[in-house]
Structure 1
Amino acid sequence: MLFWILVLYVARRFGTTQRHPDLVVRAPSDTLCDSTINNCRTLFDIVWGCLATTSACTWVSLHQNVPDPKLGWLSLLLRKLRMMLVMTIAPEFITNYAAVQLISALRISKEFVVSKT
């Protein structure tokens, strides 16, 4: 999430490209929205809101396995970002991966059932 905030800051601070005036100009706060979206929200605000929401949801909902203690924080971050990308583009792969892990866990648990005495 902090990455996207940094991207927004850099884009607004150092952006030098020509922009369409209707996508950048905001209406004064005392005017109400009319029938067009130009006086309410810009295209950038809508896309930014979608990206921020999707990133926050995938970051929170992604629960990875316990990592190797030898891994550094950067490799853990890159691992989670890679899984977030996969989860955003193809969520069915993550669902399939979880189902395979569940089936494996059930098989292992049947092998190591302790009989009640």
Structure 2
Amino acid sequence: MDKHNTLTLATSSDGKPWAATVFFVSDKNLSLYFVSDHRTRHGRDMQKNARVVATVNADCDNWHDVRGLQIDGTASIINGLARAKALALYLAKFPQIDALFASPKGEHEETIAERLK
């Protein structure tokens, strides 16, 4: 899992499926953590229906080489110590994010920094 940075997260609500690509980290128990905004479509979906599925895979040119992991689970918002631990994992995997806190460049980076606070 450490070799991969993104996963495709599938959510649904009101019978309408949706997929979004998100950056993620995993812990030693293979719990997955990602950062999102509750106002995104997948964020709104998860507020109504916490059941999610995801895939993690590498790009390849030959269909014989396609390998991936399919995941079925429940999404939840984490707070307190669990959030701090997940954020530490996230910053260790994506050290460039530290720069967003110090000096975000533009509105998009400000939004990302705000989500991580």
Give TM class, smaller chain.
Answer: under 0.3
Larger RCO (alpha carbons 8 Å, 6+ apart): 2
Higher-strand-fraction structure? 2
Of Structure 1 and Structure 2, the greater helix share is in 1
Q: TM-score, normalised by structure 2?
A: 0.21
